[in-house]
Amino acid sequence: MIAGFDYGSSNCAIGVMNSEQSIELVPLYKDQCFLPSTLYALSRDLICEGVARQIGDANQRDSYMKARVNQLRLASSTRLSLGILSHEQTLFVGEEAIENYIELPEEGYFIKSPKSFLGVSGLQAQHLAFFEDIVTAMMFQIKQAAEMRLQSEIKQTVIGRPVNFQGSGGEAANQQACGILLRAAERAGFESTELLYEPLAAGIDYEARLTGNKTVLVVDVGGGTTDCSVVKMGPDFRNKADRQADFLGHSGARIGGNDLDINLAYRALMPVLGMGGKLKNGLPLPSQPYWNAVSINDIPSQVDFNSQQNISLMQQMKRDAVEPAKLALLLKLQEQKQNYQLVRSAELAKIGLSDETLYEVNLGYLEKSLTHKVDRDLYELAIERPVAKIIDLMREVLCQAQCTPDLVYVTGGTTKSPAVRQAIASMLGDIDVIDGDHFGSVTAGLTRWAEKIYR
């Protein structure tokens, strides 16, 4: 069977063409077609073991186990020390990962949006292998969930990729990330895998509905990345097998919905934990620990936040603070590894503020009955910098294309935010802005392209 696979920074989805030649998104968890891009393991050492158990091809499994012999030995020791039986589930993906993390945040390993890390420069071989294992474990479970629904094996797929992954290494960073995706897909059981730019996938889905030729600016603002493409679309183009000449420009960067959540968590929620407060000597509290706490998509920041040096600094801050009770919450956040949960609270506030002007954030996991109100004005102020970067990417791709588009097609869950949508529309003046399926257009386009190249 053929499928389009959106392995996204915020959500994952799989699409297939049904018997009526219509795109169908496959439910992956209960009735949900979009699975949060999260993984929770009872221990990080057990992720490698989980992958080894999942690889179906015997030769490929033997090769993998030889390459991971030390990690597998450590996993066996960890399983024994934790008293985990051989039949017990140790890896959880999507909603189940979030549920387990919230229940036991300090006992396991949780990661959100692993795709955001794949292009990071300077990773050592063991770190690259670790990310490959995370992606493989997620892909396998998502593929298996889709196949159970479809009652058919998915053998061929097209997976979306951003124009530029996170990383300062330029094209080398992109090649690193693409290599991780392709190796993970093979280990997860796909026999054939191709990659396609995500904004182009979104554009291909929209193009199927065009009755005339247009030059379209596609703006795809996802959870971890923003990608923009200027594309010639319409009846004269959509049946071409090679579309490279139709794409007049690309731009992309690691900026998206996660960054909006992080900036909102920093500006709106960290004051509850003492940020902006004073030391007894009248000086302001250091702000870096607060920024590191919410920077869940940045490995060095997370390492620094959880370092003993930073813990000692926060303990000293608590002793010297005018409001030590607030610093106690910051220390609790670190100890119980609840910074992901705090950013999730900011994400829920962002979603709520799309429809309301005031949102009450539940912080009861930090202190019983603790809540904090956030208004839309503060939200819009908090996200000014990431939104400005999105607009810069639009300017960059229009400069490359050296033309004025006939219309703008926006997609990606982040464009549901009125503040983001308004900024995009304002930048382009009188040009029509068309909203796609904010969550499903990339998956649909990947599915159409998969049908084109594999049939």
Is 230 among the domain residues?
Answer: yes
pLDDT for residue 87: 84
Final residue belonging to a domain, choices 340, 361, 384 = 384
pLDDT for residue 166: 63
pLDDT for residue 168: 57
Final residue belonging to a domain, choices 367, 384, 401 = 384
- pTM, two decimal places: 0.81
Whether residues 163 and 271 fall in one domain: no
Is 448 among the domain residues?
Answer: no
Closest by Cα among 289, 266, 1 to 149? 1
Question: What are the tens digits of pLDDT across the range 17-70?
Answer: 988 888 999 999 999 999 999 999 999 999 999 999 999 999 999 999 999 999
Is 396 among the domain residues?
Answer: yes
Alpha-carbon dihedral 415, 419, 424, 430, rounded to 10 degrees? 120
Whether residues 332 and 226 fall in one domain: no
Q: Identify the segments of the chain with pLDDT beneath 50.
A: none
Whether residues 130 and 251 fall in one domain: no
Whether residues 64 and 174 fall in one domain: yes
Whether residues 104 and 11 fall in one domain: yes
pLDDT for residue 107: 81
Whether residues 92 and 164 fall in one domain: yes
Asked if 277 and 330 touch (Cβ cutoff 8 Å), the reply is no
Which 3-state string (H, E, C) describes the chain? CEEEEEECCCEEEEEEECCCCCEEECCCECCECCEECEEEECCCHHHHHHHHHHCCCHHHHHHHHHHCHHHHHHHHHHHHHHCCCCCCCCEEECHHHHHHHHHCCCCCEEEECHHHHCCCCCCCHHHHHHHHHHHHHHHHHHHHHHHHHHCCCCCEEEEEECCCCCCCCCHHHHHHHHHHHHHHHHHHCCCEEEEEEHHHHHHHHHHCCCCCCEEEEEEEECCCCEEEEEEEECCCCCCCCCCHHHEEEEEEECCCHHHHHHHHHHHHHHHHHCCCCEECCCCECCCHHHHHHHCCCCHHHHHHHCCHHHHHHHHHHHHHECCHHHHHHHHHHHHCCCHHHHHHHHHHHHHHCCCCCEEEEECCCCCCCCEEEEEHHHHHHHCHHHHHHHHHHHHHHHHHHCCCCCEEEEECHHHHCHHHHHHHHHHCCCCEEEECCCCCHHHHHHHHHHHHHHC
Is 428 among the domain residues?
Answer: yes
pLDDT for residue 167: 58
pLDDT for residue 354: 86
Whether residues 162 and 36 fall in one domain: yes
Is 86 among the domain residues?
Answer: yes
Whether residues 44 and 175 fall in one domain: yes
Whether residues 269 and 240 fall in one domain: no
Final residue belonging to a domain, choices 343, 360, 384 = 384
Whether residues 273 and 356 fall in one domain: yes
Whether residues 175 and 229 fall in one domain: no
pLDDT for residue 438: 75
Is 196 among the domain residues?
Answer: no
Domain region containing 244: 212-256+386-436
Q: What is the mean pLDDT of the chain?
A: 92
CATH of the domain at 59: 3.30.420.40
For the chain, the domain total comes to 3
Is 174 among the domain residues?
Answer: yes
pLDDT for residue 103: 83
Whether residues 29 and 173 fall in one domain: yes
Is 452 among the domain residues?
Answer: no
